[in-house]
Amino acid sequence: MCARYTLTRAEKEIEKLFQVQVKDGFEPNYNLAPTQEGLVITADEPGIAQKMHFGLVPHWAEDTKPNISTLNAKSEDVLEKKTYRPLVQHHKTCLVLADGFYEWDKKSGKSIPYRFVLKDRPLFAFAGLWSQWKSRDGAIVYRSFTIMTTAANETVAKVHDPKNRMPVILDKYTEPFWLSKDISTADLLSLCLPYPDEKMEAYRVSTDVNAAATKGVINNRPELMLPLNSQ
């Protein structure tokens, strides 16, 4: 599962690398947690990067209460789930922008956090799906997303052993295909592959990152993503 990630790059860098306009601004997030707003690029509006809530809320839900089961969508059985099947079929795909993500090593009985980054790309995108929920009176519109997952590569599996999963990280070649409305469902899902080990690295960070918030205050500061031995 990918339940926490980072997006700390400046707006201008995001706009340049993805050839988009950042809509409504975005503040760096060093510990982006469920229900918080991430930055996504959708197949419907590929020219903008817009904020949506992490943790998908389907349009038929009673409310926007978060559900841990919709933070990630397992790519191998996504078409078997009523929450995700129509989103795939109707090309409600998105790029979830990030520059790293966290996973926890729990083999010792403790939750020891690691941050994963790409060696060759300071900014990248997870494959995602998005949905729009509206209140019955139409006054509230809540857009949200989930991150696709696949089998973990060796780099991630060393840390995240219990489930052997990792987020689907797209490369520059496959990003346009994930947003294409002309691609078949089978071809779309064929893009959900483990990212190459040789292009990733991981390092341990402080357990301070374990809490998404402390006493109601969001836990979001640059020190959280620093290597443990540099703090």
Other beta carbons within 10 Å of 216:
5
Alpha-carbon torsion (196, 151, 208, 65), positive or negative: positive
**Closest-CA residue to 63 (of 136, 146, 139):** 136
Catalytic hit among 76, 103, 198, 201: 103
All structural domains of the chain: 5-230 (3.90.1680.10)
Q: State the pTM of this model.
A: 0.96
Contact criterion met (CB below 8 Å) for 126 and 167 = yes
Instruction: List per-residue pLDDT tens for the chain, 231 residues long.
Output: 789 999 999 999 999 999 999 999 899 999 999 999 999 999 999 999 999 999 999 999 999 987 888 999 999 999 999 999 999 999 999 999 999 999 999 888 899 999 999 999 999 999 999 999 999 888 999 999 999 999 999 999 999 765 789 999 999 999 999 999 999 999 999 999 999 999 999 999 999 999 999 888 999 999 999 998 755
User: Which of helix, strand or coil describes residue 195?
Assistant: coil
Predicted local confidence at residue 161, as pLDDT: 67
Query: For 208, which DSSP code?
Result: G
| Residue 2 is among the residues annotated as catalytic for this protein | yes
Residue 103 designated active-site: yes
Phi, psi of 224 (to 5 degrees): -60, -30
What is the structure's pLDDT at 230? 57
pLDDT, position 38: 97
